[in-house]
Amino acid sequence: MGYHLDVITDDVGEAIRYAGGLMFDCCRAGWQVVVTTDDVAHTEALAILGVRAQSPGSSESAAPRRGDFRAVVSRFDHAPTTSPQTEDTRLHWADDHPEDSDAAIEPVRYRLSAAARAFKARALIRAGLPQSALDEQFWTADGTPLSTAADGGASRLPTRVGEYVRG
């Protein structure tokens, strides 16, 4: 079983700010993490997190196989690029509750591991971005954070890192 985290963004700096710790922790846990973007800025900052970037429509990364777990992370208003059948969970970042949402969504706060805090801080510096709050908040409609997902719970994840807290 493989684990895939796909981050979809038009702005790599924004993805680092909102999901850099999650990306690092997932890489550290053995997940395949790819940022899909046309933005070529800050690729060195992504490298600090252990993540690689690819262009939309690229076939560089292996497609998830049957039985793999796949999560997609993007800005809340980003148009979906996949169908619900190809992902197990979708997380969105936004500063506050997205008021224009038609879906019933709930917040999920991700507490970064100590290593993720350090590497995210370095990535933010490398990208020339201010060090913001390092914990990350996502919005989800399916109620399935990554640490409890993957068909049966956290025990199926290769390594548990970080921590999710509801609300």
What are 82-95's pLDDT values in tens digits?
444 466 788 889 87
Q: State the pLDDT at residue 117.
A: 93
Q: State the pLDDT at residue 141.
A: 76
Are residues 76 and 43 in contact, defined by beta-carbon separation less than 8 angstroms? no
Q: State the pLDDT at residue 159.
A: 39
Q: State the pLDDT at residue 44.
A: 93
pLDDT-flagged residues of the chain (< 70): 59-64, 78-87, 97-103, 133-134, 142-167
Q: State the pLDDT at residue 150.
A: 39
How far, in Å, CA of 73 to CA of 65, rounded? 19
How far, in Å, CA of 143 to CA of 3, rounded? 18
φ, ψ for residue 126, nearest 5 deg:
-60, -35
How far, in Å, CA of 79 to CA of 44, rounded? 26
pTM of the model: 0.80
Pairing between β-strand 32-36 and β-strand 52-54 as defined by DSSP bridges: parallel
